[in-house]
Structure 1
Amino acid sequence: MNKPYTKQQLALRNGQDRDEIWVAYQGKIYDVGSSRLWRDGKHYEHWAGQDLTEELSDAPHTAKVFDKFEVVGELV
């Protein structure tokens, strides 16, 4: 079982307030800090520390992109 995090706790993992660069998708929280595309907690018009479930439909990629990242928690 993954550690639970609230939206407020996730928001702190934005690459600015803390070193962690995390995003949520469909209830899972992923550490995207290893990706050069998430440097400084920004990825195009998206910011780390947020739930990106609703925004994925606008992306040029599918949810498969999350397969390469470690799940670090669960959004509650």
Structure 2
Amino acid sequence: MVKTYTKSQLALRNGQDRPEIWVAYAGKIYDVSSSRLWKNGKHYEHWAGQDLTEELAQAPHTEQVFLKFEVIGTLKI
């Protein structure tokens, strides 16, 4: 069963406050801790612990990039 997290709980998984590095996209929360591109919770001008759904439009990649990461839970709206 997948757990549901609030935006406040997601914000704590920013690579700074806790060792987990998580991001949300389209209602799902992904663990990107293993990605060298998310080292220290930052990926270019994006920060972990946030919902990146709206920001993906400016990215040079599609949502397919999330397929390589584990879904940790869902984001409570």
Range of TM-score over shorter length = over 0.9
Q: Please say if 1:30 is aligned against 2:30.
A: yes
Cα distance in 2 for residues equivalent to 1:15 and 1:35: 12
Unmatched runs of 5 consecutive residues or more in structure 1? none
Cα distance in 2 for residues equivalent to 1:2 and 1:48: 20
> Percent same amino acid at aligned positions?
79
User: RMSD in angstroms over aligned alpha carbons?
Assistant: 0.5
TM-score in terms of structure 1 length: 0.99
Between the two proteins, the alignment pairs up a number of residues equal to 76
1:21 shift after superposition: 0.0
Other-structure match for 2:13:
13
Other-structure match for 1:69:
69
* Structure 2 counterparts to residues 36-51 of structure 1, below 5 A: 36-51=36-51
Cα distance in 2 for residues equivalent to 1:23 and 1:2: 15
Unmatched runs of 5 consecutive residues or more in structure 2? none
Cα distance in 2 for residues equivalent to 1:48 and 1:27: 15
TM-score in terms of structure 2 length: 0.97
Cα distance in 1 for residues equivalent to 2:13 and 2:30: 11
After the TM superposition, which parts of structure 1 deviate over 6 Å for at least 4 consecutive aligned residues? none
Which residue identity does 2:28 align to in structure 1? Answer: K
